[in-house]
Amino acid sequence: MGSNGYLPLFATRPARGLVLFRSYASSIFIGICFICFYRVSYCPVEGKIERWAWIGMFLAELWFSFYFFITAVVRWNPVYRNTFKDRLSSRYDEEGLPGVDIFVCTADPRIEPPIMVINTVLSVMGYDYPTEKLSVYLSDDGGSDLTFYALLEATRFSLIWLPFCRKLKVDTRSPEVYFSSAVEPADDSVMAEEWLSVKKSYEDLKMRIETITEQGRTPVGISELHEGFRDWDFVSSRHDHQAILQILIDGRDPKAMDVEGKPLPTLVYLAREKRPQHHHNFKAGALNALIRVSSSISNAPFILNVDCDMYSNNSEAIKDALCFFLDEEKGHEIGYVQYPQSFGNLTKNDIYGSSLRVVMEVELAGFDGNGGPCYIGTGCVHRRETLCGMKYSKEFKVEWRAMKNVREIKESASVLEENCKALASCTYEENTQWGKEIGLKYGCPVEDILAGISIQSRGWRSVYFLPERKPFLGVVPTTLLQSLVQHKRWSDGDLQIFLSKHCPFVYGREWMPLMLRLSYCIYLLWAVNCLASLYYVTVPSFCLLKGISLFPKISSSWPLPFLYVITVNCAYGLVEFVWCGGTVRGWLNEQRMWMFRRTTSYLFAFIDNILKLCGVSKTAFVITGKVADDHVYQRYEQEIMEFGTTSPMFTILATLALFNLFSFIGVIKKVALDEVLTKVIDLFGLQILLCFLLVFLNLPIYQGLFFRNDNGKMPPSVTYQSLTFFVLACTIAMY
């Protein structure tokens, strides 16, 4: 109970097992001290290469130690939350609850199929919340009539889908997911009949949408169905068109009802204006247009924002979020409530390590304990003012109950549409603070993290909420390249923030606690990891070929701190991973992916940032693929690594893998031939072990290069390229 008998709407509790974690972290710290002591006192005095290689090892280890320190900071004090929705309902009747605007963003109908987009839209229309208080906005950066057509179909389907969900208390409100797993109610024949008929309607709708998507354009007959299609007569391409805005369901209209006579949520389609001479600023630009347009249409005080692949899987999520905002004691401090990202298309052992399990279950809870989670772009409820750039102040308290936001009909929907189009034009933002001080900031491929830092630096608190039932389920990349490219964008944008004036250590000094600023480093410095990692996967193997020892002799007691730090760290990581619901193989896969990312994604992101600092390269946003062809998808399900195309990233991976294999075979031969076997082991034991681990993690690459025949194998050109680089590297190593 809070002070003066007030019952709060949410509770916060610390994580368990903190003592255990802290003792583990301290013991690793001691191990690290020993390693440093060893590196300093045993630095070779003879031989130039030996000396430099040694110093490099030391620097790499210092970097890893620094990173260990950051991961420990993040985990130092995690908190978990729970909400009391019953108290919310008893304090606020339906009338008194605030409005919520929901933004769904899509960008390309080929990468993000319209059927997927409308499933997300339908799922968020179905929130368990007074429907007249909900407004759903779809932003279509693809400016596609296919997506528009699908949304029209969804509008019609929502009339039967929403009452159906209420009646059956469906929790998964994406029809696609629901009908692919649920079975019809057996005990009630009337219900069963309705169930089958809704299912049939969905299947028909899906077939129509997919056929038209495949054809690539809406046939003439269908275009006549809705006057909205006329707008496309003026669209020359997706990069060059006027603003298109259609209010498909006008929630203010008393006739907007579902088949049971219940009001429908407002539904709006928006394709903001695009002109080749104006930069559209990717998702940040889309969100800013949505903020303005929605403020004229529904102007709800809270905004939930989801990616088009992130359907709602928990119909209570809005009420949960409001438990934080409407809490009378602490609610006014909270700028946003972040939900975890979870994924629906993961395989058992998650071959590309995309589940972000540990990030979602442990690290963001750690951020919350240190001052508030970062904003991760999707599944987040913001206060409208915080998104728009307002600073926190103690006086900022809204009496929600007094604010009965009845929507008055001022102008007709068509007048409203015309007025709003101006807000979504290319020139609207010229000579304004939009993209700088108002709305989401431009110029960064991870607009989400940047927006989170800005909000937190303006004094707002944020909250992380991990409900029992996953609130949103999205789609992870299904090929290696897509996954690496996604991480390239993330690490690239993150480093860009670190090097800019928005770096939390500069920008957030006033409001962000030190622990939170340090926590941000865990992501913002991802890209920099490439240096130490590349060093660690090349130089020890290179020195193995040259016969230079870089680790302590096995016969001494110095290997102990090394072995302790490595094994205990791995064991901790494994336990944490399994505790978060992963498998042992899943953990191994993730270790492999960390290595791959560090040597490719992060390297490219690092180089890109240097080029950007020199003014050479520009920010880009490569949209993550969300569909794959059948064969590719089959291999994904069988957890076979997908190469299949050429990419410099693959060339790097293959070259490194070959080089390590060569060193490993070389040393094994030496051990086998040499009579002084024990001497080799003594000198090179740890180095051989490292090399072995690298070869082991690289196994799928050797397979892809030499032992596979399917279309997902490494393309011959990559094989030749990497063989050439490899021979070059070996020649340098040998002579």
Ligand X SMILES: O=c1ccn([C@@H]2O[C@H](COP(=O)(O)OP(=O)(O)O[C@H]3O[C@H](CO)[C@@H](O)[C@H](O)[C@H]3O)[C@@H](O)[C@H]2O)c(=O)[nH]1
The per-residue b/e assignment along 535-562, b for 16 or more CB within 10 angstroms, e otherwise, is: bbbbbbbbbbbeebbbbbbbeeebbebb
| Residues between 588 and 617 that touch ligand X (CB under 6 A) | none
In the DSSP assignment, the letter for residue 384 is: H
| Residues between 198 and 227 that touch Mn ion (CB under 5 A) | none
Dig out the tokens for 401 from the structure. Answer: 């109950």
Q: Is 489 in the site for ligand X (CB under 6 A)?
A: yes
Q: Is 621 in the site for ligand X (CB under 6 A)?
A: yes
Please state the closest distance from residue 127 (CB atom) to ligand X, in A: 19
Catalytic residue among 448, 492, 494, 608: 448
Residue 106 or residue 599: which is nearer to ligand X going by CB?
Answer: 106
283 binds, among ligand X, Mn ion, none (CB under 5 to 8 A by kind): ligand X
Q: x/- binding map, residues 118-147, to ligand X, per CB under 6 A? A: ---------------------x-x------
| Angle subtended at Cα 447 by Cα 646 and Cα 366, rounded to the nearest 5 degrees | 100
Nearest Cα neighbor of 398 from 31, 723, 99, 698 is 99
Distance, CA of 615 to CA of 369 (rounded, Å): 38
Residue 218 or residue 624: which is nearer to Mn ion going by CB?
Answer: 624
**121, 159, 247, 308: which one binds ligand X (CB under 6 A):** 308
Strands of 472-474's sheet in order across: 311-312, 472-474, 342-343
Q: Is 312 in the site for ligand X (CB under 6 A)?
A: no
Cβ atoms of 554 and 682 within 8 Å: the answer is yes
Please state the closest distance from residue 482 (CB atom) to Mn ion, in A: 10
Residue 523 or residue 659: which is nearer to ligand X going by CB?
Answer: 523
Cβ atoms of 559 and 686 within 8 Å: the answer is yes
Residue 108 or residue 307: which is nearer to Mn ion going by CB?
Answer: 307
Candidate segments 18-26, 299-307, 338-346, 419-427, binder of Mn ion by CB under 5 A: 299-307
195 binds, among Mn ion, ligand X, none (CB under 5 to 8 A by kind): none
Burial class (CB in 10 A: 0-12, 13-18, 19+), 278: middle
258 a known binding residue?
Answer: no
| HEC-encoded secondary structure of 111-167 | CCCHHHHHHHHHHHHCCCCCHHHEEEEEEECCCCHHHHHHHHHHHHHHHHHHHHHHH
Distance, CA of 643 to CA of 481 (rounded, Å): 7
492 binds, among ligand X, Mn ion, none (CB under 5 to 8 A by kind): none
Q: Is 105 in the site for ligand X (CB under 6 A)?
A: yes
Annotation marks residue 171 as catalytic: no
Cβ atoms of 313 and 443 within 8 Å: the answer is no
Q: Is 114 in the site for ligand X (CB under 6 A)?
A: no
Strands of 244-249's sheet in order across: 244-249, 266-271, 134-140, 100-106, 302-307, 380-383, 334-338, 461-464
| Residues between 222 and 241 that touch ligand X (CB under 6 A) | none
**228, 445, 508, 704: which one binds ligand X (CB under 6 A):** 445
**83, 624, 655, 721: which one binds ligand X (CB under 6 A):** 624
Distance, CA of 102 to CA of 298 (rounded, Å): 11
Please state the closest distance from residue 120 (CB atom) to ligand X, in A: 9
Q: Is 482 in the site for ligand X (CB under 6 A)?
A: no
Please state the closest distance from residue 361 (CB atom) to ligand X, in A: 17
Please state the closest distance from residue 281 (CB atom) to ligand X, in A: 8
Distance, CA of 123 to CA of 131 (rounded, Å): 13
| Residues between 398 and 417 that touch ligand X (CB under 6 A) | none
| Residues between 361 and 380 that touch ligand X (CB under 6 A) | 377-378
Please state the closest distance from residue 288 (CB atom) to ligand X, in A: 11
The per-residue b/e assignment along 4-24, b for 16 or more CB within 10 angstroms, e otherwise, is: eeeebbbeeeebeeeeebeeb
The per-residue b/e assignment along 452-461, b for 16 or more CB within 10 angstroms, e otherwise, is: bbbbbbbbbb
CA dihedral 286, 287, 289, 290 (to 10 degrees): 120
Strand partners for 241: 274
Residue 152 or residue 376: which is nearer to ligand X going by CB?
Answer: 376
Please state the closest distance from residue 632 (CB atom) to ligand X, in A: 18
Ranges of beta strands (E only) in 40-99 are: 79-83
Q: Is 307 in the site for ligand X (CB under 6 A)?
A: yes
Distance, CA of 251 to CA of 129 (rounded, Å): 14
Q: Kindly state the number of chain residues that form the binding site for ligand X, as judged by CB under 6 A.
A: 23
**97, 151, 362, 623: which one binds ligand X (CB under 6 A):** 623
Dig out the tokens for 471 from the structure. Answer: 């609130």
Catalytic residue among 108, 141, 492, 608: 141
Helices (H) and strands (E) counted in the chain, each on its own, are 27, 13
Residue 249 or residue 270: which is nearer to ligand X going by CB?
Answer: 270
Candidate segments 86-94, 126-134, 624-632, 723-731, binder of Mn ion by CB under 5 A: 624-632
Residue 298 or residue 354: which is nearer to Mn ion going by CB?
Answer: 354
Q: 574 to each of 219, 350, 453, 622, how far by Cα in Å?
A: 54, 14, 31, 32
Candidate segments 301-309, 418-426, 584-592, 694-702, binder of Mn ion by CB under 5 A: 301-309
Q: x/- binding map, residues 255-294, to ligand X, per CB under 6 A? A: ---------------------------xx--x--------
307 a known binding residue?
Answer: yes
Annotation marks residue 448 as catalytic: yes
Q: x/- binding map, residues 149-188, to Mn ion, per CB under 5 A? A: ----------------------------------------
Nearest Cα neighbor of 59 from 532, 598, 565, 606 is 532
Please state the closest distance from residue 246 (CB atom) to ligand X, in A: 18
Backbone angles phi, psi at 10, to 5 degrees: -145, 160
141 a known binding residue?
Answer: yes
Q: Kindly state the number of chain residues that form the binding site for Mn ion, as judged by CB under 5 A.
A: 2
Q: Which amino acid is present at 397?
A: K
Query: Residues annotated as binding site for UDP-alpha-D-glucose?
Result: 112, 141
Query: Which parts of this chain interact with ligand X (CB under 6 A)?
Result: 105-107, 112, 139, 141, 282-283, 286, 307-308, 377-378, 445-448, 486, 489-490, 621, 623-624
Residues that bind Mn ion (CB under 5 A): 307, 624
Binding residues for Mn(2+): 283, 307
> Mind telling me the catalytic residues?
141, 448
List the binding residues.
112, 141, 283, 307
